[in-house]
Chains A and B, each alone.
Chain A
Amino acid sequence: MSLGSESYQLLSKIATNDQHGENSPYFDGWKAYEKNPFHPRKNPQGVIQMGLAENQLCFDLIEEWIKNNPKASICTPEGVCKFRDIANFQDYHGLPEFTSAMAKFMSKVRGGRVRFDPNRILMSGGATGANELIMFCLADPGDAFLVPTPYYPGFVRDLCWRTKVQLIPVHCDSSNNFKITREALEVAYKKAQENNINVKGLIITNPSNPLGTTLDKETLKSLITFINEKTIHLVCDEIYAATVFTSPSYVSVSEVVQEMKCNLDLIHVIYSLSKDLGFPGFRVGIVYSYNDQVVNCGRKMSSFGLVSSQTQYMLASMLSDEKFVDKFLLESSRRLLKRHDKFTKGLEEVEISRFPSNAGLFCWMNLKKLLKEETIEEELKLWHVIINEVKLNVSPGSSFNCSEVGWFRVCFANIDDETVEIALQRIRAFVGKETKKKIEVKRWQPNLSLSFTSTRFDENVLSPHNHIIISPHSPLVRAT
Chain B
Amino acid sequence: MKLLSTKATCNSHGQDSSYFLGWEEYEKNPYDNVHNPKGIIQMGLAENQLSFDLLESWLAKNPDASGFKRDGKSIFRELALFQDYHGMPAFKQALVDFMAEIRGNKVTFDPNHIVLTAGSTSANETLMFCLAEKGEAFLLPTPYYPGFDRDLKWRTGVEIVPIHCTSSNNFQVTEQALQQAYQEAQKRNLKVKGVMVTNPSNPLGTTMSRSELNLLVDFIKENKDMHLISDEIYSGTVFSSPNFISVMEILKDRNDFNNSKDADNIFERVHVVYSLSKDLGLPGFRVGAIYSENDTVVAAATKMSSFGLISSQTQYLLSAMLGDKKFTKNYLAENLKRLKKRQNKLVSGLQKAGISCLESNAGLFCWVDMRHLLHSNTFEAEMELWKKIVYQVGLNISPGSSCHCTEPGWFRVCFANMSEETLKLAMKRLKAFVVESTGNVNGVTTKSTKRNLLTKWVFRLSSRDQRDQQEER
Contacts and interface: CB of A to CB of B under 8 A. Distances in A.
B243 to A, nearest CB: 28
A414 to B, nearest CB: 9
B388 interface: no
Given A20-B304, A283-B118, A310-B311, 10 more contacts: A54-B81, A87-B281, A88-B284, A136-B155, A137-B8, A157-B306, A266-B3, A281-B313, A297-B9, A297-B13
A269 B49 CA distance: 37
Interface stretch (A345-353, A398-406, A428-436, A468-476): A468-476
A75 B303 contact: no
Which of B8, B13, B86, B301 has the largest number of chain A CB atoms within 10 A?
B8
Interface stretch (B121-129, B204-212, B229-237, B369-377): B121-129
A462 B313 CA distance: 11
Interface in B381-417: none
B251 interface: no
B84 interface: yes
B-side interface size class:
35 or more
A421 B309 CA distance: 34
Interface stretch (A8-16, A217-225, A366-374, A443-451): A8-16
Interface of B: 1, 3-9, 13, 15, 47, 49, 52, 55-56, 59-60, 63-68, 70, 73-86, 88-90, 93, 118-119, 121-122, 125, 129-134, 150-151, 154-155, 224-225, 261-263, 265, 268-269, 277, 281-286, 294, 296-297, 300-301, 303-304, 306-314, 316-317, 319-320, 323
A66 B129 contact: no
A14 B129 contact: yes
B313 A308 contact: yes
Nearest to A468: B89
23 contacts: A8-B224, A10-B225, A11-B300, A12-B129, A12-B132, A14-B300, A15-B296, A59-B77, A63-B76, A63-B77, A66-B67, A73-B67, A73-B68, A84-B49, A87-B55, A87-B285, A126-B309, A138-B4, A283-B310, A455-B75, A463-B70, A469-B90, A470-B78
Interface string A112-131: 00000000000001101100
B1 A305 contact: no
A323 interface: no
A139 B247 CA distance: 39
Binding site of B, secondary structure by majority: helix, strand, loop or mixed? helix
A310 B285 contact: yes
A478 interface: yes
A102 interface: no
A355 interface: no
Contacts of A310: 284-285, 311, 313-314, 317
B78 A462 contact: yes
A70 B80 contact: no
A63 B76 CA distance: 7
Contacts of B83: 126, 274, 280-281, 283, 477-479
A162 B129 contact: yes
Given A463-B90, A473-B84, A1 B311 contact: no
B309 A125 contact: yes
A192 interface: no
Given A140-B6, A198-B1, A455-B75, A75 B317 contact: yes
Contacts of A184: none
A89 B284 contact: yes
Interface string A309-347: 111001000000000000000000000000000000000
Given A62-B76, A297-B7, A477-B84, A75 B59 contact: yes
Contacts of A303: 119, 121, 150-151
A465 interface: yes
A299 B19 CA distance: 18
Given A162-B129, A282-B80, A137 B7 contact: yes
A76 B269 CA distance: 43
Given A1-B265, A467-B90, A469-B90, A278 B80 contact: yes
B227 to A, nearest CB: 8
Nearest to B266: A1
Contacts of B155: 136, 162, 301, 304
Given A16-B300, A126-B309, A137 B82 contact: no
Nearest to A59: B77
B284 A464 contact: no
A157 B305 CA distance: 12
A469 B86 contact: no
A318 to B, nearest CB: 12
Given A87-B282, A138-B4, A469 B323 contact: no
B90 A231 contact: no
Contacts of A54: 81
